[in-house]
Amino acid sequence: MTKQDLAWVAGFFDGEGSIVIQRHKKYRNHKRYIIFELVVQVNNTFPEVIYLLQRWFGGSVHKRKIQQQFPHWKPQYQWKVGSLQAHQFIKAIYPYAKVKKGQIELALKFRKTKKKRMIGIKTPSHIQIQRVNFKNRISQLNKGVILN
């Protein structure tokens, strides 16, 4: 993939993509764990573009059933990557992003809190608080709130 390709993807993502940090509850050995996951997705009506993203960056593609609610709309396709693949994607497009640069910067900082995976060991509370703060700040930027 060329720099020109990455610049195109970054521009497309600026307009059609989103970055979120999802919070999940997982259960293992009768214990409940809170998991935070970085997720990147793009929705569009042109399947060729969505499948191109999947070919270049991995992830999954789903056809969304919009026509049942809005019969005159074109089918919508969603490309989605999470965790490490999402991190690799945003890291690759970061130099070229404009609109979502703030979300990408927060997501990259969030990912640093997940460097070491220690199964069965509780994540320290200060790290949990950092992750919640990153989740909330990205959510605010997604809604157009300007952060200081």
Supply the pTM of this predicted model: 0.86
Whether 147 is in a domain gets the answer: no
Whether 118 is in a domain gets the answer: yes
CATH number at residue 85: 3.10.28.10
Mean pLDDT, the chain, as a whole number? 89
- Determine the 3-state secondary structure of 8 from DSSP: helix
Number of domains observed in the structure of the chain: 1
pLDDT tens profile 64-121: 876 667 777 788 899 999 989 999 999 999 999 999 999 999 999 999 988 766 566 6
Whether 130 is in a domain gets the answer: yes
Whether 31 is in a domain gets the answer: yes
What span, in angstroms and rounded, lies between the C-alpha atoms of 88 and 111? 10
Query: Residue 41: what pLDDT?
Result: 97
Structural domain boundaries enclosing 68: 3-142
Whether 72 is in a domain gets the answer: yes
Q: Please check whether residue 85 is in contact with residue 58, taking contact to mean a CB–CB distance below 8 angstroms.
A: yes
